[in-house]
Structure 1
């Protein structure tokens, strides 16, 4: 609990809290003694105590929503690039606004919110409550004594000396999004056009009856390049060489995307269910193929490119060599995600050469491949995990030589920008700063030569930065899951802090009785690797009792998921107040660590990091006897729904109850791109072997399934087929189908049912009987 001494915490809790919360301080100060004695008894509340717990949770949830918690700011930069304003949530749901002069390092209130609300009300003739006054645009005058602001889609001009306001004409503001990367990222498979004008504007290329034509703009001369195209297998996806001498196009063998279906059962005003469908690729489905060809305007020739069809994704973007229309490159990911290439094509003979050719026995994470082409220097900036950690390389396009820019046992997470003139790369990374959580993001810049690495964010914590339009200044927001956020304005050149803009005060939050989460680390299955997670406890936890554990699980390999920034007010914290210890863990198989850590998921999604998760929870129990490993529950949504159900199928000796929402219970039913990325292609027997549906007969423990009948992300039949298999195996389970709902955890009703489920099966208590309007004990 940062920034508060133990004595000040005790005073604050005595002064502000209802009686049960002082017990929290006792836990804080004496839990070590109980850990040594290890004399705890299971927490098994009575029905009356459970009713009171629900009432306390509702009060806390209501109290948290009213708190003026600010985790970050959004700067709105003025046109001069030196000044900006931002809004902050204040007490009583009011918003206060601040004006900052970055050049002078000064921050001041932009105006008095109540006075401004009254001034606007006097102009509009309608009441404007201060707690509902929200400004969406704001422009300061040169003398800072007049502002133009936008409220409810109307512009007002206001004098800050006397708060005299009047309506004014719409003000045009050049918008700047500080959270967007400096350089736009082109989608790797962003297709060319089907009809196009040549760069020299002398020819128009087009497709007619499935064949490629070019027609002179002047004179009307027409060239037909192909005759073997037709409506079933047309040519298309045309693009020109920069010198207008060649066309690149593809002979396409289309495959129609198959559809999945669902029924809307409860559409108002109808008496019949409505059948809906949408296109949806599943693992193993056929893809459209593209066979590349070159066409010469000069000799009207057709030339095949290389020997391979493009059988995955669409026609790729082409990158022509600067000042030379003889060569272009394109990128190719082989289906199965085990090979990535940058391929060079010689337009004079159609021959190809691999400039980059990366192969792996597991997978290449296609969505995180980064390439940036620098045509003037014939270089490619490439980010890859080929040395076991995600790092930056500079590739010479002419020779294929690869030079490592960053190195070490840490992970480059993202590229912000590339400064070609200074030959610098700006990026963020995790694990570089020793002694910290390896998932914490820090921001850096480095030379193309791998020298002069600069950390823009050296302070301990998880960082997020945004730049001024000219990048002379940046705003650094950093925190930890249990350390309040700080927002600093810094100078990009000197890296010095100009001023601290915000530092969240936790007094009101702690006064509610909340206990901030704990970061916990334990060794994984190999006995060496650190596994990181967080722990949420009840505010009124009795150190002489042991409490059930509930794990919030999402083991999707596309990312890591344990929160790293300050945000204690969430569903996990709320569930904990009912009498649970709630945890979240990133086990092996998730992203943002080493390649070996990530590779655990390959052909192995059913693993879900469970060996690491179980060891982590057991290590937590070894340190804190209040953790009851005989009563462990788990819940999750989507891939987490697959994981939570899998916990009872594959690890019933440890997990005893699970709530699974809209799970992808069989990876053959789910979306193609996600599942082939991790489970591979072709679809092999491991898909069936790891299916929850196939293994439904292994179910032990208590299971609740939730599904939205209109889920377009994971087809609802994934859950229904699991239900069918459970019924055929004579298994007991609960099912909640939410009419009209999409990809969801069931919304407020589903979350309520989830809490009730865990109360019944882990606390052995009855939740409120809501149909009888059973109230809590006050």
Structure 2
């Protein structure tokens, strides 16, 4: 009898604990209630086994030992400075010699990666804090190698500050002008699609300054209308709207003309560097080397299937081709983003053999060896030890959803340095003897550990235990993974979240989330998996409303080699839409899915794929939401679009198959949301698509967010947006 009573007590306790689980609230979710703690601003200190990081309260820059994971010094404290005084800071840039840092304050975003800010020079020995410049906010500052000079951009011109001459400031270029000439920073399209915000560097001895110059005077402008709005409020537009006009080259149109230049700091001589580039080609990087007589300039043709690396003498201006990579269809952006250049080597990622592997060259472009021989992608590069020949990298070697850290030895042997399946990413010490590893999986927020370069865990730096307890309190359910094969014989991977009170004998409505864009992955064994980050908090919220949430990566997504990723070449949206439709058909066969109540949504490319999927021809989606969707790639930018589609003149059929031309095939209740100040995917996309739906006599609903960009955030905006998405699915899928 006692055993029965005890069992009843346990059951009641379990039921009560389940009933007591908290409910997620949209306002707290959009306010960041479920944001995991991160180690931010980690900066390995040159020549040491130390690194610097911003403190959790955001008031200090603290030095830690890689070896022990313990704090060893406070390098900067906003409350303990001499000279200028500031209340807070947004970031810092350490000088190469480790004696000073630039402290960033009053940051104003420009585009996705670029920003203007007010920088201060901080000298650690004296604790002296002084403005970098009194002439207005600065962009893209860079230190000279000896830490005695800083170059930066203001109003499209380059300025130089000499610390040894009482911080004297001089103007290097004078031709910079908004919407005409840009010096030292990329234009909008190069920043957005080649993933960089600095186009300015010193040479190795700090005697020369080199940069890229963009002449965008012939590029067409796009005009965004600006209104008074609220939060922030633009009172100057209270009666008549204003305008923000900027240069945006759409597919097939004229790009900015790019060139490379140098400035001799002693003689003040400016010269154009003789880097061969097509008249409509690109220079996606300018980088220093350890040789004062050489910088590296990347060039690409407009089709983006040839990447060249030139060694350029900044004084003589002579350029020498070091290596050229010719790739079927297109060179991936990661080939530029993760390449490493050292004193006598170039480590270049390339998927020339069908998977992203590494190719080690000497400084003259002679191939020394290949790293990675399996059918898997190397997804990040951490460093090359010139003494031992060891190469440290991240790879999807276990499966496409997983990331591990590896070392490849000179003798050909490879070791896995991380033990836990899931998502591992690393920051190595400058001597490559230690690394800080960030690990997470579908259901575990980030855990930071200090490790030796053999993979031994030395210390745990941060474990997010508070957040782990919080998600338990809120009754989060685990992401369940699955795979299936489509009618076309393609194996696809996915995850799903079920309601906490899931009953396998019931049938549930399903909301499918996807992004689907080239090389992107949403099905990853990481805390980042989920529609709005925060561990998928919004997906958990939808599950609490009684939906099953599903995500599947279709053809064109990353982690599975070049053939899988690049099969969408010249036909964006076609295979991606088919695979989302196939997912819905497969889900409809599951006993617990209500096949008549399946919805789909996505943001940006995910919005485009939502529209393409809802008009694919097979009427499987009862409702959908497209947020900030490109509706025709004729309206999107040159670099991204032409990488995958070539030009409209070369590929008219590919461009003509889009959401607008499929408008008459739309099936299901559709909600479209767009920011009126979206500088990335212009509101033109939704305006034109809406007109096509009207003329096709299709019912739909559209929401516009005043003065909001592609992220559609600020004030109460994000909370309002997610509530509309939720209510749309509750109205149409239940």
TM bucket normalised to smaller: 0.5 to 0.7
Structure 1 match to 2:726: 755
State the Cα distance separating 1:467 from its structure 2 match.
4.8
Q: Write the distance in 1 (CA, Å) between the matches of 2:678 and 2:302.
A: 27
1:421 aligns with 2:422: no
State the Cα distance separating 1:638 from its structure 2 match.
1.4
Unaligned runs of 5+ in 2: 1-6, 72-78, 80-87, 92-123, 130-144, 146-152, 161-171, 177-198, 263-270, 528-533
Q: Write the distance in 2 (CA, Å) between the matches of 1:100 and 1:306.
A: 42
8 Å CA contact 2:481–2:494 kept in 1: the answer is yes
8 Å CA contact 1:706–1:735 kept in 2: the answer is yes
Which of 549, 556, 559 is residue 589 of structure 1 equivalent to? 556
8 Å CA contact 1:688–1:694 kept in 2: the answer is no
8 Å CA contact 2:438–2:448 kept in 1: the answer is yes
Q: Write the distance in 2 (CA, Å) between the matches of 1:647 and 1:591.
A: 20
Q: Describe the SS at the equivalent of 1:579.
A: coil
Structure 2 match to 1:702: 669
- TM-score, normalised to structure 2, is 0.67
| Residues 420-465 of structure 1: CA deviation (Å, up to 9, x unaligned) | 23332221111x23xxx42222112223x36342322122221233
1:257 aligns with 2:224: no
Q: Write the distance in 1 (CA, Å) between the matches of 2:66 and 2:285.
A: 43
Alignment of 1:296-695 (within 5 A): 309-314=278-283, 317=286, 330-343=297-310, 355-369=322-336, 370-375=338-343, 377=344, 379-396=345-362, 398=364, 400-401=366-367, 403-430=369-396, 432-433=397-398, 437-447=399-409, 449=410, 451-467=412-428, 473-483=434-444, 486-492=447-453, 495-498=456-459, 502=463, 504=465, 506=468, 509-523=471-485, 527=489, 529=491, 531-566=492-527, 568=535, 570-607=537-574, 609-622=576-589, 624-681=590-647, 683=649, 684-695=651-662
| Residues 147-187 of structure 1: CA deviation (Å, up to 9, x unaligned) | xxxxxxxxxxxxxxxxxxxxxx999599xxxxxxxxx9xxx
Which of 260, 276, 279 is residue 247 of structure 2 equivalent to? 279
State the Cα distance separating 1:644 from its structure 2 match.
1.1
State the Cα distance separating 1:667 from its structure 2 match.
0.8
8 Å CA contact 2:347–2:358 kept in 1: the answer is yes
Q: Write the distance in 1 (CA, Å) between the matches of 2:9 and 2:358.
A: 48
Higher RCO structure (Cα 8 Å, ≥6 apart): 1
Alignment of 1:133-148 (within 5 A): none
Q: Write the distance in 1 (CA, Å) between the matches of 2:444 and 2:8.
A: 18
8 Å CA contact 2:34–2:537 kept in 1: the answer is no
Structure 2 match to 1:147: none
1:725 aligns with 2:692: yes
Instruction: Give the count of matched residue pairs.
Output: 596
Q: Describe the SS at the equivalent of 2:633.
A: coil
Structure 1 pair 7–736 and aligned structure 2 pair: CA distance change class (3 A): farther
Structure 1 pair 583–352 and aligned structure 2 pair: CA distance change class (3 A): same
CA RMSD of aligned residues (A): 5.3
| Residues 662-688 of structure 1: CA deviation (Å, up to 9, x unaligned) | 111111112222212222235431353
Q: Write the distance in 2 (CA, Å) between the matches of 1:318 and 1:64.
A: 39
Structure 1 pair 58–170 and aligned structure 2 pair: CA distance change class (3 A): farther
State the Cα distance separating 1:512 from its structure 2 match.
3.3
8 Å CA contact 2:584–2:620 kept in 1: the answer is no
Q: Write the distance in 1 (CA, Å) between the matches of 2:209 and 2:56.
A: 55
8 Å CA contact 1:406–1:450 kept in 2: the answer is no
Structure 1 pair 465–698 and aligned structure 2 pair: CA distance change class (3 A): same
Q: Write the distance in 2 (CA, Å) between the matches of 1:744 and 1:416.
A: 30
Q: Write the distance in 2 (CA, Å) between the matches of 1:282 and 1:688.
A: 13
Q: Write the distance in 2 (CA, Å) between the matches of 1:292 and 1:103.
A: 42
8 Å CA contact 1:560–1:592 kept in 2: the answer is yes
Structure 1 pair 478–621 and aligned structure 2 pair: CA distance change class (3 A): farther
| Residues 67-109 of structure 1: CA deviation (Å, up to 9, x unaligned) | 89856556989999689999889xxxxxxxx9999867899xx
Q: Describe the SS at the equivalent of 2:731.
A: helix
State the Cα distance separating 1:195 from its structure 2 match.
11
Unaligned runs of 5+ in 1: 1-5, 22-55, 90-97, 108-119, 121-133, 138-168, 175-183, 185-189, 197-205, 211-236, 295-301, 764-778
State the Cα distance separating 1:471 from its structure 2 match.
5.7
Q: Write the distance in 2 (CA, Å) between the matches of 1:517 and 1:555.
A: 19
Q: Describe the SS at the equivalent of 2:621.
A: coil
| Residues 348-403 of structure 1: CA deviation (Å, up to 9, x unaligned) | 9999875433333411113533443445x4x4221100010101111245574452
State the Cα distance separating 1:589 from its structure 2 match.
0.3
Q: Which moved more, 1:329-338 or 1:65-74?
A: 65-74
| Residues 272-306 of structure 1: CA deviation (Å, up to 9, x unaligned) | 23233222121112134468999xxxxxxx99969
8 Å CA contact 1:477–1:485 kept in 2: the answer is yes
Structure 1 pair 651–305 and aligned structure 2 pair: CA distance change class (3 A): same
Q: Write the distance in 1 (CA, Å) between the matches of 2:275 and 2:500.
A: 67
Q: Describe the SS at the equivalent of 1:357.
A: strand
Structure 1 pair 312–193 and aligned structure 2 pair: CA distance change class (3 A): farther
Structure 1 pair 743–581 and aligned structure 2 pair: CA distance change class (3 A): same
Structure 1 pair 172–243 and aligned structure 2 pair: CA distance change class (3 A): closer
Structure 1 pair 381–88 and aligned structure 2 pair: CA distance change class (3 A): closer
- TM-score, normalised to structure 1, is 0.64
State the Cα distance separating 1:588 from its structure 2 match.
1.4
State the Cα distance separating 1:596 from its structure 2 match.
0.6
Structure 1 pair 469–419 and aligned structure 2 pair: CA distance change class (3 A): closer
Q: Describe the SS at the equivalent of 1:17.
A: helix
Q: Write the distance in 2 (CA, Å) between the matches of 1:238 and 1:105.
A: 34
8 Å CA contact 1:516–1:568 kept in 2: the answer is no
Q: Write the distance in 2 (CA, Å) between the matches of 1:63 and 1:279.
A: 36
